[in-house]
Amino acid sequence: MIGVAFAMGSNPAGGGQGGMGQYTSLIFIAAVFAIFYFILIRPQQKRAKQHKDFLENLKKGDKVVTSGGLYGTITGISDDSVTIEIAEKVRVKIDKGTVVQYQRTQ
């Protein structure tokens, strides 16, 4: 009979905190996710959208700089590539996504 009395008693290790421990850990996880979203994910999505708009506005004759450091003038554009002239009669076909800067010529 003594064994049954101990089984019904309180937990001496303090493991029975109720639901409060679960809620605080859930709130902590949600807060960490919110911090990551506003500090990392959202700004990166904003930059990606700006870069996409930037690439859509490229035109023939614009002076560009690529991520590899090539300076040139756009001589041809397709959906996913750009042909730039880096010297007189020297043309290079590059991926459109590697263009990082441009200066519009009039």
Question: What is the pLDDT, as a whole number, of residue 12?
Answer: 56
Please give the residue range of the domain that contains residue 95: 20-103
Domain annotation covers residue 72: yes
Whether residue 76 contacts residue 85, with contact meaning beta carbons closer than 8 Å, is answered with no
Question: What is the pLDDT, as a whole number, of residue 3?
Answer: 58
pLDDT single digits (tens) 39-77? 999 999 999 999 999 899 999 999 999 999 999 999 999
Check which CATH number belongs to the domain holding 27 and give it.
2.30.30
Q: Name all contacts of 66-73 with Cβ < 8 Å and 24+ positions apart.
A: 66/94, 66/98, 66/99, 66/100, 67/98, 67/99, 67/100, 68/98, 70/94, 73/105
Euclidean distance between CA atoms 102 and 67, whole angstroms: 12
Euclidean distance between CA atoms 86 and 102, whole angstroms: 14
Average pLDDT, the chain: 85
Number of domains in the chain: 1
Domain annotation covers residue 86: yes
Higher pLDDT among residues 85 and 104, named by residue: 85
Euclidean distance between CA atoms 37 and 43, whole angstroms: 9
Question: What is the pLDDT, as a whole number, of residue 19?
Answer: 63
Residue 15 has pLDDT above 80, yes or no: no
Whether residue 16 contacts residue 10, with contact meaning beta carbons closer than 8 Å, is answered with yes
Rounded to two decimals, the pTM is 0.62
Question: What is the pLDDT, as a whole number, of residue 86?
Answer: 95
Domain annotation covers residue 94: yes
Radius of gyration of the chain (CA): 30
